[in-house]
Amino acid sequence: MTTRYKHLFFDLDHTLWDFDKNSEATLRSLYTEYDLPALGITDFDALFRSYNVHNDKLWARYRNGYIKREELRWKRMWLMLLDFKVADTTLAHELSTAYLEILPTQTLLIPAAKELLEHCRGRYDMHLITNGFETTQRLKLQYSGIARYFNHLITSEKSNSMKPHRDIFEYALTATGAQVADSIMIGDAVEIDILGAINAGWDSAYFNPVNAPHGHKPTYEVTHLSELMKVF
């Protein structure tokens, strides 16, 4: 299918790179390595749920400018441990460091992610816009084998802005030489990727695998990445 788009801008985590599964595998390895059951943490699933709750809340605070990067990184581990009555700041810092070393080396992608990228390769310029950290995101791309598909990686660090703020979308246009009219944002977070694109005047494709209800109007909405092959 021929479209008017020349530039496809993808989100990375949860859209192409399977953050949930990769994060679970990383935390599971740390659960064993640091012998957390010996501290009374005997339910890994409960631990992982706790981590996700605190990670999501702290990321929201980080996006809104209330906390700095380092606080986000270690405090999610500290709060997770506190949920199991383990008040160990040193362990929280150790887990944070180890987690950030292992996580980017994980390689699981969202189903059909690589097929979609291959389908679009050579017909569009493809880029990433991510709120993730520069070094971490580059490692994810390298280890998962998809770095070669992208011309530019636009991060919050590099642009000094974050989705859904308009500035990061304007930065992306300048960095890539793209125009609003020939660009589209593809992402899984309706309040971050899609609302950000809409507010910047861009078209958007919402990857909504669980059919979550929302009040926004993306240009396209799909439940599986393979559906985007019919769009592009």
| Domain spans of the chain, in order of start | 7-18+109-230, 19-105
Distance between CA atoms of 205 and 10, rounded to whole angstroms?
A: 9
Q: Who contacts 22 (Cβ-Cβ below 8 Å, separation ≥6)?
A: 103, 106, 107, 108
User: CB pairs under 8 A, 24+ apart, for 222-229?
Assistant: 224/111, 224/112, 225/110, 225/111, 225/112, 225/113, 225/115, 225/116, 226/111, 226/112, 226/115, 226/116, 228/116, 228/186, 229/115, 229/116, 229/119
Distance between CA atoms of 39 and 51, rounded to whole angstroms?
A: 16
Q: Which CATH number fits domain 7-18+109-230: 3.40.190.100, 3.10.20.310, 3.40.50.1000, 2.30.30.100?
A: 3.40.50.1000
DSSP 207: E
How confident is the model over 63-76, as pLDDT tens digits? 889 999 899 999 99
Could you identify the residue written with the tokens 């749920």? Answer: 49
pLDDT score of 1:
58
Distance between CA atoms of 119 and 126, rounded to whole angstroms?
A: 12
* Torsion angle defined by CA atoms of residues 176, 192, 16 and 67, in that order, rounded to the nearest 10 degrees: 90
Distance between CA atoms of 163 and 155, rounded to whole angstroms?
A: 10
Walk along the chain (232 residues) and give the pLDDT tens digit of each residue: 557 899 999 999 999 999 999 999 999 999 999 999 999 999 999 999 999 999 999 999 998 899 998 999 999 999 999 999 999 999 999 999 999 999 999 999 999 999 999 999 999 999 999 998 899 999 999 999 999 999 999 999 999 999 999 999 999 999 999 999 999 999 999 999 999 999 999 999 999 999 999 999 999 999 999 999 999 9
pLDDT score of 133:
87
Q: Which residues pair with 128 in a beta bridge?
A: 10, 153
> Distance of CA 10 to CAs 101, 195, 231, Å?
24, 14, 14
Question: What is the fold of 19-105?
Answer: DNA polymerase; domain 1 (1.10.150)
